A and B are shown apart, each in its own frame.
Chain A
Amino acid sequence: MTKFPLENLRVINFGWVWAAPVLGHTLGDMGAQVIKIETRKRPDVIRFLPPSIHEDYPLESLYAANTFRDLLGVTLDLTTDKGQELARDMVRSADVVIENFTPGTVKRYGLDYDAVKSLRPDVIMISLSAAGQDGPSAKIATYGNIISCLGGLDVHQGYIGDSRPTTYGTSIPDPMMGILGAFAVLSALRYRARTGKGQYIDLSQWEACATTLGGPIMDYVFNGRIQYPKGNRDDLMAPHGVYRCKGKDNWVTIAVKTEDEWRGLCDAMERPDLADDERFGDTYSRQTNHDEMDGIITRWTSTLTHRQVTRQLQRAGIAAFPALSAKEAFDDPHFNARGDWVEMDHPLGKEVIYGIPWKLSKTPGGIQRPATMMGQYNRFVYGEILGRTEAEIDAMEADKVLY
């Protein structure tokens, strides 16, 4: 049985930055042949955001090292006639075409869906734009961090009562958008297998973010109410928080759902009296008196490490777990046992990158190639797949068509 269930699929990825490479490698990790089109005229911004994997190669950033795996990178200047001709040839052999330019851009390259469809009638084409292909804000310029702000992720994250808004130290939506795009593409492929029909997918990242805000949006729809950050608290559980432990920046999460769990926590803290304390008699009371309760819990957790609290509470059936630091997450036996961190031989040296995020018991897929370097697969793609001769490829390189 094959490990790679998508091995018969060819994908042409005109996309860049973060979401589109993730969509590409999500299919590539499962065996699809994914060709990533790039140009030195305007390199993918993700390629040159420092640091890079090797100081002499500023275009091989660590972002690229992770998200450009299982992609066959070729250079191609789509503003040239010859470049567009090659792009059309690639599209003719493609099952899936991915792009995430500003709406309207692909039309200038002769690669809009109507054009792509005339070259390959059953193609699945997906555009991952900020705001969709039509509507008054369709052409806004953004990055994932901005989608996070527009799409309501940032406004629902923060400490209770802080007036100054916070943002994430990274772009949270990008990888999810790549995976959501992969789901839509795979669904369209299933439809194609049944009917022979391709189609066009217009994914709006702004709307997709908003689909994860069911509670706040429904509160607005029903009650006209605007919700604000709840810190680490929860509407269904209490206590529900992150508590200081012994050591520097050492924290543990505790989430209590049932009365049995609350009693278990009281016992663990050696405060059985609290189980009968009416201030904490049910979830509602515990929510009302959360600050006071947090003080009591912290007095206990601060005498222990996050690992000690975790072992003790999980044994009692309570959802406790360390707020792992980056180092702890990278060294953690669990994530390592599950193959979340994988060592690869990159042409510029050994590296550790993230593995396959989900575990399929029979066809797990796997990372077959480290991140593509700029133009690394020009000879393979233009020669072996598109049948151009060495001399033709040399000439196109000299003419900066392959640039």
Chain B
Amino acid sequence: MVLTDVVPGGDEKDKTPLRVRRRAVLAFGAALTVGAAGGCGLLDREPDEPPPPDPLLPLADDAVRLAALHRSAAAELPERAAALTAIAEAHEAHARELARIMATPAPSPAASGSAGTPATAEERIESLRVAEKAAYEAAVQACLRTPNHRAALVGSIAAARATHLEALK
């Protein structure tokens, strides 16, 4: 009885299926590989315990998506191409800076942002404004929550998105 208390489940230990233990070892190895090859592995789901995603990740995703939206609008609206391209470049610069401070791989350009439904120029610009406004509001919230050392960058991105709304008038 005393022995049972000191070594609880001593028998069970020996019954642990070898396959389970091997799987755990393999998973650990996979996590190491992913961590080494993919930076912080923020975008990977394979490891058993992925690190929590960086709170600025949605901001970077918005930047990549908005860049693609403006690029495709610039291609379709030649008379506004210069302004739209400048905005797309700003979003791309934001995505690069966010990737740098999050220490994640630089984001690849998003697939075409076109919704697939041809619209008038006014409707097209209005849809960009709606997207910019939502992204601006998200950036404001991110700026208010972010640590001090990130606040200037995130605030600058929020302000830039507000200027895009002005430029899209």
State yes or no: do A and B come from one complex. Answer: no
Q: Which residues of A contact B (CB under 8 A)?
A: none
Q: Which residues of B contact A (CB under 8 A)?
A: none
